Amino acid sequence: EDQVTQSPEALRLQEGESSSLNCSYTVSGLRGLFWYRQDPGKGPEFLFTLYSAGEEKEKERLKATLTKKESFLHITAPKPEDSATYLCAVHYSSASKIIFGSGTRLSIRP
Amino acid sequence: EPEVTQTPSHQVTQMGQEVILRCVPISNHLYFYWYRQILGQKVEFLVSFYNNEISEKSEIFDDQFSVERPDGSNFTLKIRSTKLEDSAMYFCASSGQRNEKLFFGSGTQLSVL
């Protein structure tokens, strides 16, 4: 059973067209939810950590939010350089490891 | 900015051979990890390591795999008797606190022929 599910699998936007990526989780005892960016052939690059429902974090055109069941990564007025795969990952109390979702491949057209 | 370094970037080996993947974590980090990503699939946890011991390992990390911190800077993953299905990108990561803000290297692409 998938514990971390990301949607959509792929998203194509026009430059400047804002949207949101979803990460839903079914684990109990969430200890941290992470967002990473991954460029082709590279390792994941850390973006945000969220710990509790209601928490929000921002960085440039990205904003991450967290509820008790899901997290959103909002992208405002994206640019072509925001094109990448965005990964969600969770650490929860019954597992001493961080597990990743399948990611959303984001493509921004100029 | 400090970074995690992995070598080699690409490794091609014959089935049944042993490979060692090398990583230099960020110098003041204490927690080390190996993940792998088969083409088109999720990033999968393999093992975590702290204080010269394995902290956690996945079902994938069987007797074929081992990790070692041979000196104060390197962290290695050894895969014995490689199989075709071991072909993947292997990522090393490190963190200053357990399971917090992992910093990943650029990976070693392992191809088993």
Q: Is A5 on the interface with B (CB under 8 A)?
A: no
Q: What are the tens digits of pLDDT across the range A4-59?
A: 999 999 999 999 999 999 999 998 788 999 999 999 989 999 999 999 999 999 99
Q: Tell me, what's the pLDDT at B89?
A: 97
Show residues of chain B in contact with A49, CB under 8 Å: 100-101
- The alpha-carbon gap from A45 to the nearest alpha carbon of chain B, in Å, equals 7
Q: Tell me, what's the pLDDT at A2?
A: 57
Residue % of chain A over a pLDDT of 70:
98
Q: What's the start-to-end Cα distance of chain B, in Å? A: 37
8 Å CB contact between B93 and B75: no
**What is the number of domains present in chain A?**
1
Q: Tell me the CATH number at A95.
A: 2.60.40.10
Structural domains of chain B sorted by starting position, each given as residue range(s) with its CATH number in brackets: 5-112 (2.60.40.10)
Q: How many interchain CB pairs under 8 A, A with B?
A: 58
Reduced to 3 states (helix: H, G, I; strand: E, B; else coil), residue B84 is helix
| Mean pLDDT per 10-residue section of chain B, whose length is 113 residues | 93 97 94 95 94 92 94 93 97 91 96 97
8 Å CB contact between B70 and B99: no
Q: Which of residues 48-77 of A touch B (CB under 8 A)?
A: 49
A59 is in which domain, residue-wise?
A: 4-109
